[in-house]
Structure 1
């Protein structure tokens, strides 16, 4: 059998870990692991949230054969040539898992490949895309009947990623022993992965953790460390000598403790004696699903927690006005320009705070629901105020249960990766049929 190419188009860190990872696994299960028959390539497009390590992460997946980084994308889009001048089979399928939905249209025409798009909330270019796998039926319902045959409801890829993680992970953390899980409240801390967010996020969230722990000593805390951040860098944002914002939140600092035993977990230890475990396995869905609540910043974290049904409080401190640089589109590009990005970021965020922001519509679950399901706190946040909100939720578990129920109601079903793999298989068959005619 002649070889078939499957080209995955993706972009940011969230898409690479929560969409690409489960889909390539499902594709190998559906189509086999013989690389002389099916070859899987990943091409990344630019993303304002990217860390630069997305290509390495994608290449680490054993199901993937080759990866091209985002820095070479525009040449590929315009001329159909990869940086390493990859060869392409006569037949193949492009699978869109992040970026702009026009990309598979253009690249599909250049390579002569069938196109499959995974669409969470909107589907475009119905006339030129061959198949759509959508998260919910509502996406397909907005489409003209003449294109309805192209649409299949596949469910939620994030739920699929979380489910696979639970199956694969063998808990080895002291936080995850049965006795510990039942006798303590586990709170996740997700301060982000970029320096602009970590500068405020680490000292603020650790100060909140200290306040909660002083009032509820049985509470434990964990930081799922982003794969793009090393421990020393993370710890530096809790060091008052390296981060001036440590004192802004009345926090006295934290130090990194790395155990000599390779099986142990690294910790951040604050001056009050509180220890926060640093969890480096990724994705951390099994861990997060055991958290009673999480403190997080805006971004992909809120989507992942929403998919897992984990209650959260979303924090947007404004003590540092240029911290939020993760906007989509032109604002995000301007805010991240070398040299002049900081003034643009301050101006964009000032305009946003002054004129644009609508309460309750910044975290992804709130955007999906068009109402405030999870609390969003913006402003010159203080640890005690946020800590009191967390303590109130912990003291009233029915409030947390209500948030969990609402989060589950707004997401799609699981099993999306296998359904997408089945669609790809069908499109491969169609490409062969068209070749015979």
Structure 2
């Protein structure tokens, strides 16, 4: 590079920040160098219904990133081209889209006079106005007009990059089940007691099994434990689970009345832990994408005892479901409409357009869910089949480096 450039990363939710932005900024530094006077990396976040509020802090913790603007200041930047801290911009640069709405790089690229590179996982839009697309699979560009075909390059799957630094799986004597009840109150109120009730049932049949909860970075342990307290959460009695208390130690645990201890893991992202799980219990959302990228078998539960619990849909439905006062009403209506169509709610199933991982929807009973787990655990060939299907549903690895190459080409 003869002139200094700015790289502007546009992103939004926690999944994108940890599994897309992290590997891409590393690859950009490897491809274009670490000299900040020559290349500066900025991250601007847009609103996301799944956001935890800590996305800006997570992005700023990456040593490759120079500056970050939080989502609450996004609309001012989109409309007027001014950041909250009135950042300066170099004459040359590239806008890299890694989450949000694909119209954002079109608008911001025009305002700054920068080239635009979009990572398109399943859908690519605004072909006329975007300069380059790095797509997960070739089928993303199948319906593109031939006059725009030169803009498309298959780079592979950024989610697969999550596995890059994970050590080779080792054969463990302990059978591990991961429990992912959610990160927000609406999901936790059902997710925690359901997970604990399922775990207690399995543990009674297979006492050698170990259970772990990867705790979301936005969730403190006392809050998590409160959802296992029948005095604070009526769904503990609804699902018939024992109450549980937090036991603080080197490895904190939730201990139920029956003596079951569920370990709480604060590592984030918890890819190393999840990669050693035989199978996981999770609800819909970004967790299913993360587990799918790691090829970890899972059972996805969508309990409908509280219909407004799921408020993490993408796009306009997610925004409506999280509105103050009326959000609960919207959430119930949206969830009723979505659930009535049945199937393909978990990301791996959406990718494959088939039910790779079981989706259990309805007024779920813990014993019924647990029996499905026991069937998989006693038939490991079924788990192997699910792992293989999860791997085949995703794209190839190396996407971050290939995307960085596209950015370099646009700079040139």
CA RMSD of aligned residues (A): 1.5
Match for 2:363 among 380, 383, 388? Answer: 380
Secondary structure at 1:420 match in 2: helix
Looking at structure 2, the residues matched to 182 and 85 of structure 1 have their Cα atoms a distance apart, in angstroms, of 53
Looking at structure 1, the residues matched to 107 and 315 of structure 2 have their Cα atoms a distance apart, in angstroms, of 20
Deviation, 1:82, is 0.4
Looking at structure 2, the residues matched to 385 and 187 of structure 1 have their Cα atoms a distance apart, in angstroms, of 17
Looking at structure 2, the residues matched to 16 and 425 of structure 1 have their Cα atoms a distance apart, in angstroms, of 21
Deviation, 1:73, is 0.6
Give per-residue Cα distances to partners, 1:64-114, cap 9 Å, x unaligned: 111111111111001100011000000011100001111001000000011
Contact residue 228 and residue 236 of structure 2 kept, 8 A: yes
Contact residue 21 and residue 161 of structure 1 kept, 8 A: no
Deviation, 1:330, is 2.7
Q: TM-score, normalised by structure 1?
A: 0.91
Give per-residue Cα distances to partners, 1:280-328, cap 9 Å, x unaligned: 1111112111111100000111111111111110001111111011122
Q: How does 1:191-206 map to 2 (within 5 A)?
A: 191-206=181-196
> What runs of 5+ residues in structure 1 fail to find an aligned partner?
170-175, 430-437
Match for 1:320 among 282, 306, 309? Answer: 306
Deviation, 1:4, is 1.1
Looking at structure 2, the residues matched to 304 and 6 of structure 1 have their Cα atoms a distance apart, in angstroms, of 26
Deviation, 1:19, is 0.4
The equivalent residue for 1:127 is: 128
Q: How does 1:5-24 map to 2 (within 5 A)?
A: 5-24=6-25
The equivalent residue for 1:362 is: 345
Secondary structure at 1:182 match in 2: coil
Give per-residue Cα distances to partners, 1:184-232, cap 9 Å, x unaligned: 2111111111110011001101110111011001111111111121222
The equivalent residue for 2:198 is: 208
Secondary structure at 1:39 match in 2: strand
Give per-residue Cα distances to partners, 1:142-187, cap 9 Å, x unaligned: 21221121111111101112213x15x9xxxxxx9x6xx5212111
Secondary structure at 1:77 match in 2: helix
Q: How does 1:281-292 map to 2 (within 5 A)?
A: 281-292=267-278
Secondary structure at 1:327 match in 2: coil
Secondary structure at 2:68 match in 1: strand
* Worse-superposed segment, 403-412 or 335-344: 335-344
The equivalent residue for 1:389 is: 372
Looking at structure 1, the residues matched to 337 and 286 of structure 2 have their Cα atoms a distance apart, in angstroms, of 23
1:418 aligns with 2:401: yes
The equivalent residue for 2:332 is: 346
Match for 2:178 among 166, 173, 188? Answer: 188
Deviation, 1:331, is 2.3
> What runs of 5+ residues in structure 2 fail to find an aligned partner?
none
Looking at structure 1, the residues matched to 253 and 40 of structure 2 have their Cα atoms a distance apart, in angstroms, of 41
Looking at structure 2, the residues matched to 246 and 111 of structure 1 have their Cα atoms a distance apart, in angstroms, of 53
Secondary structure at 1:40 match in 2: strand
The equivalent residue for 1:279 is: 265
1:258 aligns with 2:267: no
Looking at structure 1, the residues matched to 19 and 317 of structure 2 have their Cα atoms a distance apart, in angstroms, of 25
Secondary structure at 1:41 match in 2: strand
* Worse-superposed segment, 223-232 or 150-159: 223-232
1:407 aligns with 2:390: yes
Deviation, 1:141, is 2.4
Looking at structure 2, the residues matched to 244 and 55 of structure 1 have their Cα atoms a distance apart, in angstroms, of 34
Looking at structure 2, the residues matched to 104 and 23 of structure 1 have their Cα atoms a distance apart, in angstroms, of 17
Q: How does 1:243-254 map to 2 (within 5 A)?
A: 243-254=233-244
State the number of aligned residues: 411
